[in-house]
């Protein structure tokens, strides 16, 4: 057998197993209650409508649907997406939009385009694990900026960039999730978005705006996309159908200035040539019929009821000293234990009690966040949420007693 380790690239040596993907294996146990994955509820999937549309597409466009497509994406889907963005007040054209095979592919391709080994990428403390993992594979040096109740702190961002500039560090972009941030659940107000964009302009940086949950708002005022605020062409915004329709479709899209889109498409051609054509045609027809917005109303109602119930269960069962965020939308909330506690240590104990979460530390690029955990509220039904929170609260209480803090 060859020694594979001697053959691996630097990128491959940097790869790590996804903590979340590994946790999802626990779902095979029927007794396990998982708050771990960022899974949409199967109840939100419009199976009957998709079944009918798929049949229609195969009958009327079968040959085209089963053929290769263009790298930039299916014309009908692109038209539907542009129309939606125009209705939202965005000034975008065909040259600003590209389809990707899931937003994770978009993250990977954008990283390949912009990151050289040793370059700096700015991200939040905490930040989406999928982004951190991708930046790590391409050799980025990640610089974490702490949060307050409004998201990434602009004052700390300015100080860090000033320091990095003096050290002649090559900073490429700022990675943010402004709406219902993963994992923290925080929404960044317009004023903070504007501050960050001004700082990005000062240091001539790109801003990678990840927006998978924006359409899943339960309450509060909708904030502007950073792409909408930006007047200099430095914001790249990613969207996905995974959280608003069905993750199994693996279709996402991004908006950016034409120069970036052109480079993106060149890189995508070496990745998969094109995203699945039949799926794009199904989604285009689904949007055309007005079903996406109709189904989103039901999804939002479903997720809001589950968030509200989880919050009420936290109030009822969690011991003093435990805090959590109250997101205005999305799929997650973030739970913070007292500083003396370690959620990493609690994980195995929780699994023994048949409840799972994601250790908050995996969302920090600086090995912090040991006393935090991410909790998903979209997947489990009301009864399961109650049982899961009870189990998790008992694990936390038992740990407090053993530490002498009961």
160-198: per-residue pLDDT in tens?
999 999 999 999 999 999 999 999 999 999 999 999 999
CA distance 87 to 83: 6
Average pLDDT over residues 136-160: 97
**Higher-scoring residue by pLDDT: 61, 405:** 61
Q: State both tokens at 30.
A: 């029927």
Residue 134 has pLDDT above 90, yes or no: yes
pLDDT of the residue at 30:
83
**pLDDT tens digits for range 77-100:** 999 999 999 999 999 999 999 999
Of 330, 358, 37, 324, which is closest to residue 177 (Cα–Cα)? Answer: 330
Average pLDDT over residues 117-133: 96
Q: Where in the chain is the domain with CATH 3.90.1150.10?
A: 4-46+293-402
Total residues found in the chain within this entry: 406
Does domain 68-289 correspond to CATH entry 3.40.640.10?
A: yes
Of 145, 151, 153, which is closest to residue 125 (Cα–Cα)? Answer: 145
pLDDT of the residue at 261:
98
What confidence tier does 405 reach under pLDDT thresholds 50, 70, 90? low
Quick one: what percent of the chain has pLDDT higher than 90?
Answer: 90
Residue 1 has pLDDT above 80, yes or no: no
DSSP secondary structure letter of residue 196: H
In degrees rounded to 5, what are phi and psi of residue 175? Answer: -100, 120
pLDDT of the residue at 5:
76
Residue 376 has pLDDT above 90, yes or no: yes
Please give the helix or strand (H or E) that residue 120 lies within, else none.
strand 120-125
Q: In what order do the strands lie in the sheet with 252-255?
A: 97-100, 252-255, 235-240, 206-210, 171-176, 120-125, 141-148, 151-152
For residue 204, with 0-12 CB atoms within 10 Å meaning exposed, 13-18 middle and 19 or more buried, which class applies? exposed
Please give the helix or strand (H or E) that residue 21 lies within, else none.
helix 19-24
Q: Please confirm whether the linkage preceding 183 is cis (ω < 30° from 0).
A: yes
Helix residue ranges per DSSP H, 204-276: 226-229, 258-269
Average pLDDT over residues 264-284: 97
Does domain 4-46+293-402 correspond to CATH entry 3.40.190.10?
A: no
Q: Do 122 and 175 touch, CB atoms closer than 8 A?
A: yes
> In sequence order, which residues have a C-beta less than 8 Å from that of residue 191 and are 6 or more positions away?
none
CA distance 330 to 376: 9
Task: Produce one character per residue of 309-333: b if its CB has 16 or more CB atoms within 10 Å, e if not.
Answer: bbbebbeebbbeebebbebbbbbbb
Q: Do 252 and 241 touch, CB atoms closer than 8 A?
A: yes
pLDDT of the residue at 282:
98
Find the angle CA(313)-CA(316)-CA(322) to the nearest 5 degrees. Answer: 90
Q: Where in the chain is the domain with CATH 3.40.640.10?
A: 68-289
Average pLDDT over residues 101-112: 97
Strand partners, 255: 97, 237
**Is the entire prediction scored with pTM above 0.75?**
yes
Q: Do 139 and 116 touch, CB atoms closer than 8 A?
A: yes
Strand partners, 300: none
For residue 43, with 0-12 CB atoms within 10 Å meaning exposed, 13-18 middle and 19 or more buried, which class applies? exposed
CA distance 17 to 23: 11
Residue 290 has pLDDT above 90, yes or no: yes
pLDDT of the residue at 24:
67
Within 189-343, strands assigned E span: 206-210, 235-240, 252-255, 323-324, 332-336
pLDDT of the residue at 36:
92
- Tell me the C-alpha to C-alpha distance, in Å, between residue 200 and each of 32, 38, 204: 44, 30, 6
CA distance 392 to 314: 10
Q: State both tokens at 360.
A: 């908050």
């Amino acid at each position: 057998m060859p020694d594979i380790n001697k053959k691996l690239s630097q990128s491959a040596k940097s790869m790590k197993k996804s903590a979340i993907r590994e946790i999802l294996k626990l779902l095979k146990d029927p007794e396990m209650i998982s708050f771990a994955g960022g899974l949409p509820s199967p109840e939100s999937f419009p199976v009957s409508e998709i079944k009918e549309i798929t049949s229609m597409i195969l009958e009327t466009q079968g040959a085209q649907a089963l053929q290769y497509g263009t790298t930039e994406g299916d014309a009908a889907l692109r038209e539907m997406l542009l129309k939606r963005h125009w209705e939202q007040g965005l000034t975008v054209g065909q040259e600003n939009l590209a389809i990707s095979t899931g937003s994770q592919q978009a993250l990977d391709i954008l990283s390949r385009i912009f990151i050289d080994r040793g370059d700096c990428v700015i991200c939040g403390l905490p930040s989406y694990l999928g982004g951190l993992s991708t930046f790590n594979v391409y050799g980025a040096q990640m610089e974490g900026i702490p949060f307050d109740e409004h998201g990434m702190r602009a004052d700390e961002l300015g100080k860090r960039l000033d320091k990095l500039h003096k050290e002649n560090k090559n900073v490429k972009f700022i990675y943010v999730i402004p709406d219902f941030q993963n994992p923290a659940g925080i929404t960044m107000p317009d004023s903070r978005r504007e501050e960050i964009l001004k700082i990005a302009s000062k240091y001539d940086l790109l801003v990678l705006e990840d927006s998978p949950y924006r359409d899943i708002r339960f309450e509060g005022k909708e904030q502007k996309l950073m792409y909408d605020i930006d007047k200099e062409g430095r914001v790249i915004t990613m969207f996905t159908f995974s959280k608003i329709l069905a993750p199994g479709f693996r279709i996402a899209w991004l908006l950016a200035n034409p120069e970036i889109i052109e480079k993106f498409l060149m890189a995508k051609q070496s990745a998969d040539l094109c995203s699945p054509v039949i799926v794009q045609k199904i989604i285009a027809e689904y949007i055309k019929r007005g079903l996406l917005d109709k189904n989103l109303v039901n999804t939002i109602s479903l997720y809001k009821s589950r968030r509200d119930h989880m919050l009420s269960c936290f109030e009822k069962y969690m011991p003093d000293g435990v805090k959590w965020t109250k997101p205005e939308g999305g799929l997650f909330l973030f739970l913070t234990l007292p500083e003396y506690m370690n959620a990493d240590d609690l994980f195995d104990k929780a699994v023994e009690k048949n409840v799972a979460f994601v250790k908050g530390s995996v969302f920090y690029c600086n090995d912090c966040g040991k006393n935090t955990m991410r909790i998903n509220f979209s997947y489990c039904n009301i009864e399961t949420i109650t049982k899961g929170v009870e189990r998790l609260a008992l694990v936390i209480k038992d740990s407090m007693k053993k530490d002498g803090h009961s």
